[in-house]
């Protein structure tokens, strides 16, 4: 058993309601990001939620229930998805090419499986050399901090009232209301996470979100009654616009493969070639993110998920198959969610069976449309406030890895490697090929670029300073000053060292006499 966890991977909650609350916590953590992808691309929301649950189950059982990972829709494929939807569509045509998206996601799944088979043949020794802690730690920090912009946008523009002003040209108190609610969500979650009551610390995100949601409901009611637009936090109109008289208003049926049957866009060799160029390079990038997320989770639960059980081969195959199935159902790729990794880190509940229940509930929720609609009413400012903790926790996990592995930042090479990764990733350096600067055909984003440049810097630069790669208790390492010490400072340091040695010798002599 891992003493740092309340529930280890193979353990279960004692009571059914704890199990349920732990599962709901994971659903709430991933929900907004999950439905944002279909909202951006115009693809169906319900099937995307269902595919997240199905994909997670595929992953869990492929990895022999050894890795508590939740999968959901990936933002990395937004550009390839948009490219695929437009392939083979006649000029002025209104029908998107859904088959192109499905084929693209199948290609992504194939890439993952092929890489997994290569890893199975060659082992992961080369991977540990390419991705030592000095590279992985800052990468994990980048994964968390690169999401900070998204969190802050939700904090500032996260209410129904602010959505009425997409250009941002709204009175100041609209944004102020959104920020206040976000800070309430953040404060409640932090309070519950650090509470003395054990039961409360296990579900801080559920309590923080529910508590703030109740505040939002009260404000919305007051806003509607008094006609005060600024405090209309929640949009309940989605219930009035739903077709309750039809079974489609109750059950999700708009799967992508159903839509693809009636499409008019063509699928030929040229379209398949365009799809391959759009999806395969991105798949190579997301494999790197897959590795980083599993390194982070492994660090939190004190297991090597890539080297030991379940192993990188199984995690890649699980993720790849899940993505192919998800593409067929909704068009979105599946990926490991840092939000859910952070939930495990904060709550210290790593039970894989909790993840399984969360996945099953997600599928049910996706099929039962009223339930999905209810969750869609959760204002973005609430999830944004909670994300201040979630995304920050991911970044803090990277710092924790550097400390745990005792990475020696007295070595100039290590400082440079970390610096390049952090600035490249947080700054969002993008390299693109094809198309134009505003819309590349193939794009390598900030996290992937940070990993690539970090690996290159770590491989090409050498440690010529003679310092150990790991800091030790016997030889504490300090970060060197930016300027060399002058003669007076060198003399002063020598005198201090001599005094410390004399005191140590004196202490030893005293102890010897006493004994």
Split at pLDDT 50, 70, 90, the class of 480 is very low
Whether the per-residue pLDDT at 509 is higher than 90: the answer is: no
Split at pLDDT 50, 70, 90, the class of 184 is very high
How many CB atoms sit inside 10 A of residue 478's CB?
A: 8
Q: Which of 206, 216, 207 is closest to 181 using CA atoms?
A: 216
Mean pLDDT of 277-295: 80
How many CB atoms sit inside 10 A of residue 164's CB?
A: 12
pLDDT at 489: 52
Contact 202, 347 (CB under 8 A): yes
pLDDT at 422: 92
Contact 341, 335 (CB under 8 A): no
Whether the per-residue pLDDT at 505 is higher than 60: the answer is: no
With residue 325 as reference, give the H or E element that holds it. helix 312-329
pLDDT at 83: 78
Distance, in Å, from the CA atom of 64 to the CA atom of 502, rounded to the nearest integer, reads: 59
pTM: 0.70
Residue 448 vs residue 114, higher pLDDT: 114
Whether the per-residue pLDDT at 126 is higher than 60: the answer is: yes
Whether the per-residue pLDDT at 280 is higher than 50: the answer is: yes
With residue 73 as reference, give the H or E element that holds it. strand 71-73
Query: What is the tens place of the pLDDT at every residue in 39-88?
Result: 667 788 889 999 999 999 999 999 999 999 999 888 778 778 877 887 76
Mean pLDDT of 421-428: 89
Pairing of strands 71-73, 334-336: antiparallel
3-state secondary structure 1-40: CCCCCCECCCCCCCCHHHHHHHHHHHHHHHHHHHHHHHHH
Please measure the distance between the N-terminal and C-terminal CA atoms of the chain and give it in whole angstroms. 42
Q: Which of 106-110, 313-317, 487-491 has the lowest mean pLDDT?
A: 487-491
Whether the per-residue pLDDT at 512 is higher than 60: the answer is: no
Contact 146, 397 (CB under 8 A): no
117-122, long-range: CB within 8 Å, 24+ apart, which pairs?
Answer: 117/313, 119/312, 119/313, 119/316, 120/313
Distance, in Å, from the CA atom of 56 to the CA atom of 53, rounded to the nearest integer, reads: 5
Whether the per-residue pLDDT at 249 is higher than 70: the answer is: yes
Query: What is the tens place of the pLDDT at every residue in 361-406?
Result: 999 988 988 877 777 788 888 888 888 887 887 788 788 878 878 8
pLDDT at 1: 55
Split at pLDDT 50, 70, 90, the class of 487 is low
Residue 508 vs residue 132, higher pLDDT: 132
Name residues whose C-beta falls within 8 Å of residue 457's C-beta, 6 or more positions apart in sequence: 413, 416, 417, 420, 421
Whether the per-residue pLDDT at 353 is higher than 50: the answer is: yes
Whether the per-residue pLDDT at 289 is higher than 50: the answer is: yes
pLDDT at 474: 53
pLDDT at 477: 46
Distance, in Å, from the CA atom of 44 to the CA atom of 256, rounded to the nearest integer, reads: 7
pLDDT at 262: 77
Whether the per-residue pLDDT at 511 is higher than 70: the answer is: no
User: Using alpha carbons only, what angle is made at residue 331 by residues 327 and 333, rounded to the nearest 5 degrees?
Assistant: 60
Whether the per-residue pLDDT at 417 is higher than 90: the answer is: yes
Mean pLDDT over all residues of the chain? Answer: 81
User: Using alpha carbons only, what angle is made at residue 304 by residues 421 and 53, rounded to the nearest 5 degrees?
Assistant: 85
Residue 352 vs residue 261, higher pLDDT: 352
Name residues whose C-beta falls within 8 Å of residue 107's C-beta, 6 or more positions apart in sequence: 275, 276, 279, 280, 283
pLDDT at 481: 46
Query: What is the tens place of the pLDDT at every residue in 186-243?
Result: 999 899 888 877 677 777 877 888 899 999 999 989 988 988 888 888 888 878 887 8
299: exposed, middle or buried (Cβ count in 10 Å: 0-12, 13-18, 19+)? buried
């Amino acid at each position: 058993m891992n003493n740092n966890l309340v529930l280890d991977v193979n353990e279960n909650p004692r009571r059914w309601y704890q199990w349920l609350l732990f599962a709901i916590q994971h659903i709430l953590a991933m929900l907004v990001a999950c439905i944002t992808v279909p909202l951006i691309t115009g693809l169906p929301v319900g099937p995307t939620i269902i595919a997240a649950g199905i994909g997670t189950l595929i992953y869990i059982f492929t990895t022999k229930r050894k890795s508590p990972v939740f999968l959901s829709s990936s933002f990395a494929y937004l550009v390839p998805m948009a490219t695929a939807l437009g392939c083979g569509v006649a000029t002025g045509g209104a029908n998107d090419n859904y088959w192109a998206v499905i084929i693209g996601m199948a290609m992504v799944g194939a890439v993952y499986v092929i890489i997994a088979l290569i890893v199975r043949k060659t082992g992961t020794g080369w991977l540990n050399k390419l991705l030592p802690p000095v590279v992985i730690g800052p990468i994990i920090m980048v994964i968390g901090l690169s999401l900070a912009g998204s969190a802050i946008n939700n904090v500032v523009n996260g209410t129904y009232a602010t959505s009425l002003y997409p250009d941002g040209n709204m009175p100041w108190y609209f944004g102020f209301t959104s920020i206040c609610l976000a800070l309430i969500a953040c404060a409640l979650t932090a309070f519950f996470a650090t509470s003395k009551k054990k039961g409360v610390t296990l579900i801080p995100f559920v309590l923080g979100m529910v508590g703030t949601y109740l505040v939002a409901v009260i404000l919305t009611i007051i806003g509607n009654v008094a006609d005060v637009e600024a405090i209309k936090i929640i949009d309940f109109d989605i219930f009035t616009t739903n077709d309750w008289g039809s079974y489609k208003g109750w059950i999700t049926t708009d799967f992508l493969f159903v839509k693809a049957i009636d499409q008019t866009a063509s699928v030929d060799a040229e379209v398949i070639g365009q799809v391959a160029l759009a999806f395969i390079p991105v798949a190579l990038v997301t494999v790197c993110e897959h590795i980083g997320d599993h390194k982070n989770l492994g660090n939190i639960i004190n297991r090597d998920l890539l080297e030991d059980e379940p192993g990188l081969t199984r995690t890649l195959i699980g993720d790849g198959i899940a993505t192919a199935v998800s593409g067929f159902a909704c068009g979105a790729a599946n990926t490991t969610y840092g939000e859910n990794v952070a939930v495990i880190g904060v709550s210290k509940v790593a039970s894989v069976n909790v993840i399984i229940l969360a996945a099953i509930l997600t599928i049910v929720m996706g099929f039962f449309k009223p339930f999905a609609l209810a969750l869609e009413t959760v204002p973005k400012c609430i999830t944004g406030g909670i994300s201040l903790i979630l995304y920050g926790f991911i970044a803090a996990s990277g710092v924790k890895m550097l400390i745990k592995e005792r990475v020696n930042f007295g070595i100039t090479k290590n400082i440079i490697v970390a610096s390049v990764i952090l600035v490249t990733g947080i700054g969002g350096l993008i390299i693109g090929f094809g198309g134009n600067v505003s819309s590349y055909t193939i794009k390598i984003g900030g996290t992937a670029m940070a990993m690539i440049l970090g690996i290159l810097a770590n491989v090409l630069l050498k440690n010529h300073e003679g310092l150990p790669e790991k800091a030790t208790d016997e030889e504490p390492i300090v970060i060197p000053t930016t300027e060399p010490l002058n003669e007076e400072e060198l003399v002063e340091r020598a005198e201090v060292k001599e005094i410390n040695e004399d005191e140590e010798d004196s202490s030893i002599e005293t102890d010897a006499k006493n004994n």
